Chains A and B, each alone.
Chain A
Amino acid sequence: MGQLRLLIQVAFRNLFASRINLLIGAIIFFGTLLVVVGGGLVDSVDTAMSRSIIGSIAGHLQVYSDHSKDELGLFGQMGGEPDLAAVDDFSVIKPLLEKHPNVKTVVPMGTSGAMVTSGNTVDLLLARLRELYRQRVDHGETPELREQLDSLKGHVRHIVTLLESDLANKDTLLSDGALEPADEEAIAKARSDAFWAGFEQDPFSALEFLENRIAPLLPDGTMLYLRYAGTDLESFQKSFDRMELVDGQPVPPGKRGMLLSKFFYEEFLKLKTARRLDLIKRERDINKKRIAEDPEMQRWVKENTQQLREFALQLDPLKTKLAIERLQNHLGTKEPNLEKLLASFFATTDDNFDARYATFYKDLAPLLELYRLRLGDSLTITAFTRTGYVQSVNVRIYGTYQFKGLEESQLAGGLNLMDLMTFRDLYGYLTPDRKAEIAEIQKKSGVTAVARENAEDALFGSSAAPLVADATPGLLNDKEGMDGMGHLRREDLAERVYNQQELEKGMVLSAAVILKDPSKLKETMAELQQSAKDANLPLRVVSWQQAAGIIGQFVMMAKMVLAIAVLIIFVVALVIINNAMMMATLQRVREIGTMRAIGAQRSLVLNMVLVETLVLGLVFGAAGALLGSGLIAMWGHAGIPAGNPTLYFFFSGPRLHPTLSLGILAAAFVIVLVVSALSTLYPAFLAARVSPLRAMQTDE
C-alpha cells in the first residue's frame, strides 16, 4: 500500500515533467472527449428517434405476415412501398397478441401510396358545373342552384377572356405555345355572346365543347403522390399519444374518411404563393434569417412575383375587381392590371414583409381558395391494386393532424391517415367470390397463354392456325351488365357506419403493438413470436427499429461510425503512447539504473511505469470527460437546433436536448485505462530489464 502511495506520488511528480507526457495526455483527452460527446449525442438521438417512431406510427412492436417478400418499412423503402403479404384476418391475430400480459393495445395497420391527379383550373370548374347541371336534371332548379351556375359560368367566361388576351400578347403560358387555327376558332366561339346565350338550351353539349376544346389549351393539372396509412382511426388516436388533430374534426367512429397530415396539406395543397409567404415568415421569425441575405428566401420572393397565373385564374370578374381595388389601396397606385399589381405586391423586402403578409391574409386570402381541397370535401384517390385492377375511391377529408414535436418533419408529415375500409378497397384484396368471377371471365375469353420466349414459333410456326378467317356476322347485345351500381355504391359508402367487428374482420398489412412495460421489449417480442408459432400463424414480430426500415437503422449506423472512429483513434493512441513511453523509458535509463542500484526491485520499476501511464490516463481522461459532460450539459440546457426539417424527426422536435448516461462515462474511463495499460506494458517491461551496471556505463 505504502509502495502504491509512493508510486502515485512519483507519477504525479512526473505528470508534466516531459513533453512526451503532454502529447500522450492530449491524445487521451481528445479520445475521451469524443467518446463522451459522441456517445452522449448518438444516445440522445437514439432516444429521441425512438420517441418519434414509437409515438407516431410504429408502436413498440409490429407484427406482419411471414409470407412477405420484403421486410416491413413503415416509412417506405427505396423504390416505393415494401412488398408485404396481407394478414387475411385481423380479428384472428388481435386476441392472440392481446393475450400476452405485457401487451396494452393492438392497432391494425397498412401503408401504401397512390397518385392523386387533378385537372387544370378550367377542368375543375367545368366538372363542378357538370355536377350542378346533373343536380338540376335530378332535382329541378332552385334559386341557389341558379346563382351557383351563373357564378361558375361567369368565372369560366372570364378565364376564356384571359386566354384570348394571352393569345393576343403571344404569351407562351399556354400548354405548348403554338396554337392551331382550330384552337383559335374554338376560343373565338367560347368568347362569343352567341355561345353563352345558347348555353342553357343544351348545357351538356356546351360543357363537352368547353371540356374538349378549351380546357386542354391550359397547362395540365397537377399530379400528387399521396402516402397513407389505413388504420382503425379511433384506436390509433388513443394509442399514439403524439398524434393530435389540428384543424377540422376526427373521422366519426366507424365511418370512412381521412385525416391529412398538416405538413402535407400545407406543403402540397395550399396555394403556392401563400405557402411561400408562410415559409418566408417562418425563416424570418424562427430562424431569424433575412431576405436580403438568404438566397432561398430570395428565390421564394422571385417565384411569388413571377408565378401569378394560378392566382389570377382563381378569381372571377367580381373578385378580380375587388383584388385590384385592395392592391391599389395598399400600394398607393392607380395601376389597373391585376398581374402587375400582384408582381409589385409580392416583391417583398425585409422592411415591408410583415405588413404585406398581414395584408395578404386580411384582404386577398378571403377572395381565394387557399387550399386546393377544403376540409369536408371529397378527395378522389386512384390506386393500382394488388390484383392489377385500378381502383378509385372518393374519401372525405375530415381534418388535418400532426405528431407533436414533429410538425415540420417531412418524414412524419408525409403520412396521411385513412380508415381501414377505404384502405382495403384501394389495396384490392381478392376475395374468393372475385377470384371465381375472374376465372369465369377467363373461361369465356378462351385465351390460352403463350410464353414470350417461343411466341413467334407458336403463333406463326408450322403448326400455327391460318392467318385469315371469316367472322360470324350477327347482332351483339350489350344491354345487360351495368345496373346502376356505381352510383348507388358511391352514395352508400360515404354515409355507411361500420361496426367494430366489420372493421376488424378483414385484411391488414401489419399490427402495431403497444406494450405496458417497454423495457421488456425483447422478451415480449420473443414470446409473441413463439405464441404465433404455437398457434400456427405465419407471423413475423419485429421491434420498432426494424419496422422503421432504413430510418430505424440510422442510429445503428451512427453508432457503428462512432465506434469505428473511437476504435481508430485509440489504436492510433495505443501505438503513439507505446512509442512515446519507449522513448521516455530510454531517456530515463540512468534514473532507473540508479534506482535499481540502490535496491529497487524489477517489480517496483515495472509498477512505476504502469502507474505513471494510468495516472496520466486518468487525469487527462477525467479532464476530457469533464469538458465533454460540460458540453453535453450546456447543449442539454440550450438544445441543438435541428436547422433543416429532415433532422426534426431524428431530434424528435425542432431541438435536441442531449443527456449523458453514467454508462457512457464509465465506458470512456474503462477504454482509457485499458488503452493506457496495454500501451505501457512493453515499455514497462523494458524499463524493468535495465541493469544498474548498464545505466552507469551509458552515463559514462
Chain B
Amino acid sequence: MSLSKLLSAAVVAAALLSARAASALDTPAMTKMLQVIDDRQRNGGDYKALVYLEQKEKDKTDVAREAWVYRRDADDKLMILFSKPKGEAGKGYLRLDKNLWSYDPNVGKWERRTERERIAGTDSRRADFDESRLAEEFEPSDKGEETLGKYKVHHLILKAKANIDVAYPLVELWIDVESGNILKRQEFALSGRLMRTLYYPTWRKLFSESKNADVWFPDQIRIYDEVEKANSTVIAIKSVDLHSLEANLFTKAWLESKSR
C-alpha cells in the first residue's frame, strides 16, 4: 500500500470516528436519561393497577390472569395479588426489603423467591411490575443511535452494579430519542446469552396529585422468551389509580386476609 493510500485511509477513519463521537452520549447524559425514565414511572405516594397477564407456551393452551399490582414507591414495597381465574384468586407476591415472598392460599404458605422468579409461571419477572430503578441498579454505556421501526432510538448497554441483586446482569435498552421512553429491552445472562426481549409499544401518563406531576406507565409489555422461543407473555396494564392505599396493605397478614 502506498503512503498516499495509507494517509487517505487514516483520514477516512478519523472522520468516521469523530462522526461516531458526535452522536455518542457521555455517562452523565446517559445516567440522566435513565433517571428521567425512573422518575417518570415513580409516584410520590401509592400506586394501584389492574393488570392482565397472558402467557403462550409451546404445546399448551393459552393462560390468562387478572391481577392487582400495588406499589408504595417511598418504601420500595410491591404487592401483586391475583384475582382471576377462580383457581388463582388470592395467590400473590409481596416484596419486603430484599425479600420476594410468594403466597398460595390453597396451601396457606409463604415462600421466599429469587429475583429470577417467573411471576406465576409466566415469562414476567418482579421488576416488570415494580418501580423502575435503572439509574440506581445499572452502569450505562452507549452504542449510538439506531432506528427501531419508524423511530430514532438511543441504544444503551447497562451493566448491573456490584452487590445489586437483579434478575439479569446485562441489559440493552432502545430509548426513543423524541419522548425518552423505553421501546425495547433485551436481557442477558452473565454468560452473554440472550434471555428475554421486551417491547413497550405505548406509554400512558396520568397526573398524580401526590407527585404533582405525571406518572408514566407502559400500556403493554410484550415479553418474548429467548430460551424457549415458542413462549411469550403479555402484561397489559388496564388502569392505574394513584390514590392512597391502606396503611397496612404491604404485610403478609393483609394478603392472607384476602383469602381467609
Contacts and interface: CB of A to CB of B under 8 A. Distances in A.
A465 B202 contact: yes
Contacts of A487: 105, 108, 259-260
Contacts of A456: 148-149, 184, 199
B124 interface: no
B241 A119 contact: no
A486 B89 contact: yes
Interface string B214-253: 0001011010100001001010101111010000000111
Contact of B64 (A123, A438, A460, A470): A438
B96 interface: yes
B234 A482 contact: no
B150 A444 contact: no
Contacts of B48: 476, 478
A83 B59 CA distance: 10
A442 B109 CA distance: 29
A490 B205 contact: no
A474 interface: yes
A382 B107 CA distance: 10
Nearest to A131: B108
Contact of A478 (B64, B68, B238, B240): B68
B27 interface: no
A504 B225 CA distance: 39
B120 interface: yes
A452 B85 contact: no
Given A212-B99, A216-B112, A485-B89, A450 B84 contact: no
B259 A486 contact: yes
A447 B204 contact: no
Given A476-B239, A485-B86, A467 B148 contact: no
B259 A468 contact: no
> Binding site of B, secondary structure by majority: helix, strand, loop or mixed?
strand
Contacts of B238: 445
B63 interface: yes
Contacts of A117: 111
A461 B243 CA distance: 36
A208 interface: yes
Interface string B48-85: 11101011110111111110100000000000010111
Interface string A425-449: 0000010001101100110111101
B107 A441 contact: no
Contact of B97 (A213, A466, A475): A213
Interface string A137-165: 00000000000000000000000000000
A441 B52 contact: yes
Contact of A216 (B54, B99, B107): B99
Contact of A430 (B61, B83, B112, B149): B61
A386 B63 CA distance: 10
A382 to B, nearest CB: 8
Interface residues of B, number: 79
A212 B219 contact: no
Nearest to A455: B199
Nearest to B120: A390
B9 interface: no
A457 B199 CA distance: 11
Contact of A467 (B61, B90, B181, B253): B181
A469 B204 contact: yes
Chain A, interface size category, equals 35 or more
B106 A393 contact: yes
A482 B83 contact: yes
Interface string B194-210: 00000101111111000
Nearest to B150: A462
Contact of B104 (A123, A392, A474): A392
B98 interface: yes
A363 interface: no
A438 B149 contact: no
Given A437-B85, A446-B236, A127 B66 contact: no
A643 interface: no
A471 interface: yes
Given A438-B63, A445-B54, A460-B151, A127 B110 contact: yes
A122 to B, nearest CB: 11
A470 B206 CA distance: 6
Contacts of B107: 380, 392-394, 490
Given A462-B150, A470-B204, A212 B97 contact: yes
A83 B202 CA distance: 39
A438 B56 CA distance: 13
B176 interface: yes
B151, B258, B259 pick with most chain A CB within 10 angstroms: B259
Contacts of A394: 106-108
A482 B108 CA distance: 15
Interface string A88-130: 0000000000000000000000000000010100010001001
Contacts of A467: 151, 176, 179, 181, 183, 201-203
B87 interface: yes
Contacts of B202: 465-469
A481 interface: yes
B88 interface: yes
Interface of B: 48-50, 52, 54-57, 59-66, 68, 81, 83-90, 96-99, 104-112, 120-122, 148-151, 176, 179, 181, 183-184, 199, 201-207, 217, 219-220, 222, 224, 229, 232, 234, 236, 238-241, 243, 251-253, 258-260
Given A470-B205, A489-B106, 17 more contacts: A204-B253, A386-B60, A392-B104, A434-B87, A447-B52, A459-B222, A460-B148, A460-B151, A461-B149, A465-B202, A466-B202, A467-B181, A468-B205, A473-B206, A476-B240, A476-B241, A481-B83
27 contacts: A212-B99, A216-B98, A388-B60, A388-B63, A391-B106, A392-B106, A394-B108, A434-B85, A441-B85, A445-B54, A455-B224, A460-B149, A462-B149, A465-B202, A467-B201, A467-B202, A467-B203, A471-B206, A471-B239, A473-B206, A476-B240, A478-B68, A482-B81, A482-B259, A486-B104, A487-B108, A489-B106
Would you list the 6 A-B pairs with minimal beta carbon distance, nearest first? A486-B105, A460-B149, A445-B52, A486-B259, A481-B83, A388-B63
